[in-house]
Amino acid sequence: MVKVSVAIPTYNRREKLKRLLNSLKDSTFKDFEVIVVDDASTDGTEEMIRNEFSEVRYIKHERPTLVAKSRNDAIEASEGDYIFFIDDDNVVEGNTIEKLLNYAEEHEDVGTVAPVTCYYTMPEKIMYAGAVFSKFMRRTVSLYTGFSCKGLEGKVIEVDVFANSYMFKMDAVKRAGLIPWKRIPWNGEDGYLQYKIKKLGYKNITLGYARVYHDVDPKEGVKRYNEMRLYYAMRSKIVLHRDLDPPSERITFYFSLPIYVIYWLYVANKSGRGLKGVKAVLDGLLDGLINSDEIKYS
């Protein structure tokens, strides 16, 4: 058994993946394996891994299945006591894995621990430091976005869910089980497992003094919401709260659904997706309510 498995789902981001893999070589913690799960890339990712990173455990899908299946495959392949997931368009600070592991080792009640995500192009600014669900609407409220990354130094923040990068305790994952990937294949699939772990009595923690840097455009805003993202924003939200919330919170969430629909229709309009965007939102609503297990908009 290795101590940590670093799991990287990827799809057609060869050069960004290469940069991430190179950043992992500078880690102050050394007892880890790297697992790359490739969701049927066509950009030469496989050749790059084979030629330049032969030590990496490489799994490739024959056809795209979206990221939840990739996460499950990495969990099943892992030989670590912990599994650190990180998206392929990141760079990891050298001591981040060590800090996450040390905190998790010292706190038995922690199921998931995550670094702060800072912008790669603006490394002084926080993109994401975890999120909590509001009490009645169950709205996902991101924490500290736009704050100074160094401003969270020394802070330990309890949250409901994370995105982008986080470390699971494998014992907690085994208790929770795999992601139901056919019903929640993307956009909230990781939050599903994190929140399920929290519902089992563990804590989910963001460490303010551990950091990764995410290479996304800070000014992109709603333009990033194509039909696929709109569809799964609606569908995945319904699946998560229907499956994991207690009845009282589930009821208030369902009463709030018209507000979510109006909001995502607004985003579809602002992002310039037109009628296709509207259809994607309504498809996501319907498929979420009927608990569809069909992969769409992939």
**Is 186 in contact with 234 (CB distance < 8 Å)?**
no
Nearby residues of 208 by Cβ (< 8 Å), 6 or more positions away: 116, 129, 152, 153, 154, 155, 156, 157
221-280 confidence digits (pLDDT tens) = 888 999 999 999 999 999 999 999 999 999 999 999 999 999 999 999 999 999 999 999
Supply φ then ψ for residue 290, to 5 degrees: -90, 0
Q: Tell me what pLDDT residue 298 has.
A: 72
CATH topology of domain 2-214: Spore Coat Polysaccharide Biosynthesis Protein SpsA; Chain A (3.90.550)
- Residue 175 is encoded by which pair of tokens? 């208790």
Please identify every stretch of the chain with a pLDDT value under 50, giving residue numbers as ranges: none
Residue 1, pLDDT score: 59
pTM exceeds 0.85, yes or no: yes
Q: How confident is the model at residue 228, as a pLDDT?
A: 97
Q: State the residue for tokens 């101590």.
A: 3
Bridge partner list, 161: 131
Residue-wise pLDDT tens digits, 70-83: 999 999 999 999 99
For the chain, the domains span 2-214, 221-289
**Encoded tokens for 59:** 């799994």
* Terminal Cα-to-Cα distance of the chain (whole angstroms): 35
Question: Can you say how many angstroms the Cα of residue 127 is from the centroid of all Cα atoms in its chain?
Answer: 13
pLDDT of residue 98: 97
Cα–Cα dist 213/211, whole Å = 7
